[in-house]
Structure 1
Amino acid sequence: MRLAAALACGLVMALGQPPWNLWPLAFAGLAGALLLCRDAPRGRGFWTGWAVGLGYFGLSLGWIVEPFQVDAAVTGWMAPFALIGMAAGMALFWGLPAWLASRSRDGRRMLALVALWGAAEVLRAFAFTGFPWGLVGYLWAPTAAVQWASVTGPYGLTLATLAAAGAMASTLRPGARGRVVKGIAAGLGLAVLIGGGWALTPPLQDLSDRPVVRLVQPNAPQHEKWDQAMIPTFFRRQVEFTGATPQSHVNERPALVVWPETALPMLLDNAGEALAIATEAAAPGNLAVGVQRLEGRAYYNSMALVAPGPEVRQVYDKHHLVPFGEYMPFPELFLRINISGLAARAAGGYAAGPGPELVDFGPRVGMGLPLICYEAVFPRDTRAEERPDFLLQITNDAWFGRFSGPYQHLMQARMRAIEQGLPLLRAANTGVSAVIDGAGRVLKALPLGQAGYLDTALPEPLRPTIYARTGDLPVFAALFLLVLMAFVPSRRECD
């Protein structure tokens, strides 16, 4: 029964993620999960935490099956194994803190569980290149409390969420000492999270004098995107959107036009004619376009900034690649059984670029930091040597289906904007293309599954946030101290 209840708590927690956004239920599920893990017998701690994770990741990562359905005849059989394997693997990160906490002193077990679970969320963001998708703290994304990410970052918000839920869980234990005090602490914690979030929310900006940017959304389904019969149709669609009359709310041509990830159907070196057509339509503005390129024997998933002419002014190469999607660990082994990177055009996958790199998009638009698809999931990938004026994400979310994946990806892009206090422009093949201000507000968007273009004023960057200045070190230090408090006996206990 304990494992079934833990699985149910994980499922309820997942309802805090898009497209459901049922954050009160998710918070209650988290409190229940913490209570079950806290009271688990020593031999059951790991499996209780693992069952919570299995329910959470099994539901929230349901979109994992979508890439395998693009060519279902070849890869469809892998879909259920991918989801079960991914959920079971991610759940290990939640089983570990529950197991360790079960070995702490009874009076400090909830503290140990909160600290270790927070540390486990950090660990899964970094281990094996990292996968911080759906952090616990993201349940606040629909609320004002999400603004705390500008102060604490995503891991600090996750730790605060665990602490508030832990305090609430402690009030539910029959016979527990200090239930009233803990209940008051939980209530105050929630009040600070939500009320403080309102206080941290900056006012909307006046964008009347800001440069205009156009986001192009061709809506090319993944199973048709590389079909030779359909490639000309999608290219013409993007050119038509690029050269279209400015939308009624703007009175000038865009200073920058953005096409999504892998928008060009050929390698960059072979794209001269296509770029000439596209940049003529974009003139006098520049064109930022997702394209693949070959250098030596290495293929890159890239974004090129192209001026009318065409003149390729700068190229950014994606550096944070998707394991098994854009590159294959041990490629020779997997190629023998006819498994290659799903998203990569080359059988061995893409090569990684050097890292975050600013691109000069012109005097009016300013310096931007490109993020290609999955890179927007990683808080550390939004940091460069110099602070940009904005973030630019190009992505092909056709891989994520049309239910949960694209909306979760958009939510995490919002988090990156809040953390850094920077506007984020998002051009997505099938949607959701959007302009997001430095407070994470979606100012304008094109719906999922709709072809079109969006003319938008580029918001101004906010002042550097506390998190932008301090990074994750304060939270890492806090986690370390909390773990020490949970496990190191006091002098009185030693006596």
Structure 2
Amino acid sequence: MRELGSAARAGLACAAGLAQAASLAWPASGVPLWWLQVLSLAVLAGLQRSTAHPFRAAVLAGLFATAWLCGTFWWLFTSLHTYGGLPAPLAVLAVLGLALFLASYYAIAGGLYVLLAPASRLGAALLFAGLWLLAELARNTLWTGFPWGAGGYAHVDGPLAALARLVGVYGIGFVAALLAMLLASLRATDLRRTTAWLLLGTLAAGLVAASGLRYCALGGCNRPAIAEHAPLDLALLQGNIPQDEKFQVGSGVPTALAWYARQLAAASAALVVAPETALPLLPAQLPPGYLEAIARRYAKGDQAALIGIPLGDMKAGYTNSVLGFAPGQDVPYRYDKHHLVPFGEFIPPLFRWFTEMMDIPLGDFARGPLGQPAFLWRGERIAPNICYEDLFGDEIAAQFRSPEHSPTVLLNLSNIGWFGTGLAIDQHLTISRMRTLEFERPMVRATNTGATAVIDYRGQVTHLLPRATRGVLLAQVQGRSGAVTPFAWWAARWRLVPLWILGAVCLLAGLWARRRPRNHHLKPLA
């Protein structure tokens, strides 16, 4: 790659970034492609190895990341312009600005790699993977985090998926980056050397071993410490209320109230779930007796319901919440969303002027606490999370500190109608699938427009309702209790600190190797 001109290298970085985006959900099918993620990252790794100047390496990494992130969450334009009313040029600039800001983490990582890279190929690969990991963790954490489209999600169906129960999605991303740099470090002349074939053989053996772990995760190996429960019958409601009408009192609101009331009254399943803000009004704004009728409906018998609804008032503040109704309750169960979406659910400091340019209702919520109690029903401990929250596996892990009280079923209630009916739905389904692999617990999803689905503990979608349709998904979920996964165990105690330490160790090792006296320097690829 050394002989390529600056413009060609920049174009190659952007093309590789777009391929990275496509690996998360292939545009024609919505399916993630793990091999494309590794190959596209290997192109970036090759560009880094063949660049001698840290600033140029930072620019190339920044271009790669900007193209990748724009290609991943371009659908934010739909929410900002189509539904938020922001002028199209400003919406484009907002998406590009967010991508550029987040890409700065990867640009810094790229510059540091060239500045510190040791001569050893394995050392260089570890440094590259460690810096990639730190950039991914920064995107997950800083400024409340916006980790949508992390590279590890592309591996939900690949051999590295077996590592999810051990190290989570960011640990998978670290291993993928390590593989990418090792691939990029191979040269055509290397194929005549024994060491190169040993390296290729090691990589192949590692993938085979990971495939074996994947086989165990899919049920080929018995894990007696896990107890599988009797199936629980579900009715998952997908109202498909158009987003531009959802909060309109003359159209979407009466449609939603009437349709969800009918389904909640008629459902015969043991658990009925309505999605995020299925009832788009505060309780005080609902028709008289509306919520009380639902409470009476589920106060006796053998059925329960979980319903997305905003709660609160001007004085106490507003929350994006879930109410649960079941027989024998003195008061309804309540879950308040903890991790809020910037601009959509809370306004960052100094940005109120930006949100005032858009027509997005209920834009400033209060946060619920981390690790709220689960909803107890039919022997299951059902742990809700709302929409964007299932991106943060380390926060879901807070409920897994004690195996005896950890969730048996995860539940996501979403409304991503803000983003259209395209790849955002596929990407979000993949994110939920990764959470099931990390915790080995099934995930139930009830959404407004899709994907309403049931995912088993192996990450496999067992029931799915067509997107952009109004209907009820009748399904079953089988909860699991007992031992927790290694990832759940350590993330419950230390969040993502062990991965931060791993990235820092790789960085310090690069510094140490760079300071050691040596007789040769890393040469760019020919």
| TM-score of the aligned structures, taking structure 1 as reference length | 0.89
Partner of 2:385 in structure 1? 371
Deviation at 1:264, TM superposition (A): 1.1
Consecutive unaligned residues in structure 1, runs of 5 or more:
246-252
Secondary structure of 1:222's counterpart equals: coil
User: How far is the alpha carbon of 1:92 from its aligned partner?
Assistant: 1.1
Give yes or no for the alignment of 1:186 onto 2:193.
no
Question: Which aligned pairs between 1:272-287 and structure 2 lie closer than 5 A?
Answer: 273-279=289-295, 284=301, 285-287=303-305
1:3 aligns with 2:10: yes
- The 3 A distance-change label for structure 1 pair 239 and 189 is same
d(CA) in 2 for partners of 1:137, 1:91: 17
Structure 1 pair 82/273, CA: closer, same or farther in 2 (3 Å)? same
Indicate if the aligned counterparts of 1:207 and 1:458 stay in contact, CA closer than 8 A: no
Cα pair 1:266 1:292 within 8 Å, conserved: yes
Once the two structures are TM-superposed, the CA of residue 337 in structure 1 deviates from its matched residue by 7.9
Give the deviation of 1:209 after TM superposition: 3.5
Q: Tell me the distance in 2 between the aligned counterparts of 1:303 and 1:343.
A: 20
> Residue 480 of structure 1 aligns with which residue?
504
1:121 aligns with 2:146: no
Counterparts of 1:182-331 in structure 2 under 5 Å? 182-202=199-219, 209-230=230-251, 231-244=253-266, 253-271=268-286, 273-279=289-295, 284=301, 285-295=303-313, 296-307=315-326, 312-330=331-349
- Change in CA separation of 1:169 and 1:186 when aligned onto 2, cut-off 3 Å: farther
Match of 2:79 in 1: 67
Q: 1:277 to 1:160 in 2, by over 3 A?
A: same
Letter in 2 for 1:373: C
Corresponding position: 1:428 with 2:447: yes
Matching of residue 21 in structure 1 with residue 32 in structure 2:
yes
TM-aligned CA deviation for residue 238 of structure 1: 1.7
Structure 2 vs 1, CA of residues 278 and 77 (structure 1 numbering), >3 Å: closer, same or farther? Answer: farther
Alignment-mate amino acid for residue 411 of structure 2? L
Is 2:169 aligned against 1:154? yes
Does the aligned pair in 1 maintain the 2:409–2:480 contact within 8 Å?
yes
> C-alpha distance in 1, partners of 2:484/2:227?
19
Moved more, 10-19 or 282-291: 282-291
- Other-structure match for 2:524: none
Q: Secondary structure at the match of 2:78?
A: helix
Q: Who is 1:465 aligned against?
A: 485
Distance of 2:87 and 2:324 partners within structure 1: 35
Q: Could you tell me which residue of structure 2 aligns to residue 37 of structure 1? A: 48
Deviation, 1:489, is 3.1
Displacement of 1:290 in angstroms is 0.9
1:188 is displaced (CA, Å) by: 2.8
Secondary structure at 2:305 match in 1: strand
Residues 6 and 336 (structure 1), Cα distance of their counterparts in 2 relative to 1, 3 Å cut: closer
- In the alignment, the residues of structure 1 paired with residue 137 and residue 176 of structure 2 have an alpha-carbon distance, to the nearest angstrom, of 14
| Equivalent-residue separation in structure 2 for 1:58 and 1:335 (angstroms) | 24
Change (3 A) 1:142 1:75: farther
Alpha-carbon deviation of 1:111? 2.9
**What secondary structure sits across from 1:223 in the alignment?**
coil
Cα displacement (A) at 1:291? 0.9
Larger RCO of the pair (alpha carbons < 8 Å, separation 6+): 2
Q: Which runs of 5+ in 2 are unaligned?
A: 1-7, 520-526
User: Do the aligned partners of residues 416 and 72 (structure 1) sit closer, same or farther apart at CA in structure 2, a change above 3 Å counting?
Assistant: closer
**What is the Cα deviation at residue 254 of structure 1?**
2.0
Partner of 1:250: none
Residue 444 of structure 2: SS of its match in structure 1?
strand
| Deviation by residue 1:87-146 (Cα, 9 ceiling, x = unmatched) | 212211211111001111441433322211111111111111112211111111233532
RMSD: 2.8
1:434 touches 1:444 (CA, 8 Å); kept in 2?
yes
| SS, match of residue 264 in structure 1 | coil
Query: Residues of 2 paired with 1:336 and 1:10: CA distance?
Result: 28
Structure 1 position 309, deviation (Å): 10
Whether the 8 Å contact between 1:279 and 1:310 is mirrored in structure 2 is no
The 1-side partners of 2:394 and 2:271 are apart by: 26
Deviation per residue, 1:379-404 (Å, 9 max, x gap): 12212254122111111010121111
Superimposed CA distance per residue, residues 278-314 of structure 1 (whole angstroms, 9 cap, x where no aligned partner): 3456663222111111152411111111247996422
Aligned-partner Cα distance in 2 for 1:336–1:8: 31
Return the offset for 1:484.
2.5
The code of the aligned residue for 1:189 comes to G
Aligned to 1:141: 156
Letter in 2 for 1:482: C
1:103 aligns with 2:119: no
Contact 1:112 1:487 (8 Å CA) reproduced: no
CA 1:181/1:216 → structure 2, altered by over 3 Å: closer, same or farther? same
Letter in 2 for 1:327: F
- One-letter code aligned to 2:489: R
Return the offset for 1:149: 0.4
Q: Is the partner of 1:276 in helix, strand or coil?
A: helix
| TM-score, scaled relative to structure 2 | 0.84
Number of residues of Structure 1 aligned to a counterpart in Structure 2: 483
**Deviation string, structure 1 residues 211-230 (Cα, Å, up to 9, x no partner):** 21221111111001112222
Give the secondary structure class of the aligned counterpart of 2:320.
strand
What letter is aligned with 2:157? P
Determine whether 1:84 maps to 2:96: yes
Residue 453 of structure 1: how far off its partner (Å) = 1.0
Helix, strand or coil at the partner of 1:10: helix
Alpha-carbon distance between aligned partners in 2 of 1:334 and 1:476, rounded to the nearest angstrom: 33
CA distance in 2, matches of 1:466, 1:83: 36
Q: Name 2:356's counterpart in structure 1.
A: 338
Question: Residue 113 and residue 208 in structure 1: after superposition, are their counterparts in 2 closer, same or farther (change >3 A)?
Answer: closer
1: CA distance between counterparts of 2:389 and 2:97?
A: 23
Deviation at 1:410, TM superposition (A): 1.4
Give, in angstroms, the shift of residue 473 of structure 1. 4.5
Identity %: 28
